[in-house]
Amino acid sequence: MGVNAKIKAALAPLPWPAQQHPAAGTQRTYLTWQELSSQPDAYRSNAPTRYSYQVQVNIFSREAIPDTNLRAVVQALQAAGVTVQYSGPRNYEEDTKLYHIPIICRWQEV
C-alpha cells in the first residue's frame, strides 16, 4: 500500500470528508493531505527497496477546531501505524476565513 492509500484509509472512518487534493470547501470541516518528502531508507544491490515519507495532514474548518477533533484525527493516524510528529500551529486564515491545523506525520513502507 502506498503512502496516499495509507493516509486515505486511516482518515476514512472519520466523520469528515478527506482527500489528497484540496476539498471543495462545502463542508464545515474537511481534511486534506500532501506528501512533503520521501527518501529511500533501505537498499539492496544499491537500489532502494523501501521508502520513508513525511506527510502533512490538514484540518480545515469554518469554525474553531475543538481539541476532540484534533485528537480524533491524530488517533486515527496512529491506529493505522502512522507516526504523528507534531501538530500546529493553529491558524485562522484571513483570506479563506478558515481555521487550519497542520499535522506532520511520518510513515515507512513495510
* pLDDT one-digit tens code per residue, 72-109: 999 999 999 999 999 999 999 999 899 999 999 999 88
The reported pLDDT for the residue numbered 72 is 98
pTM: 0.87
The reported pLDDT for the residue numbered 27 is 76
- In whole angstroms, give the CA distance from residue 65 to residue 86: 16
Pairing of strands 83-87, 98-108: antiparallel
- In whole angstroms, give the CA distance from residue 2 to residue 51: 10
In order of their start, the domains of the chain are 3-108 (3.30.2000.30)
With a CB cutoff of 8 Å and minimum separation 6, the contacts of 79 are 10
The reported pLDDT for the residue numbered 23 is 66
* pLDDT one-digit tens code per residue, 34-60: 999 988 887 788 887 778 899 999 999
> What is the Cα 42 distance to its own chain's centre?
24
CB atoms within 10 A of CB 15: 7
The reported pLDDT for the residue numbered 24 is 59
- In whole angstroms, give the CA distance from residue 33 to residue 12: 13
**1 vs 11, which has greater pLDDT?**
11
Confidence class for position 25, pLDDT limits 50, 70, 90: low
The reported pLDDT for the residue numbered 42 is 79
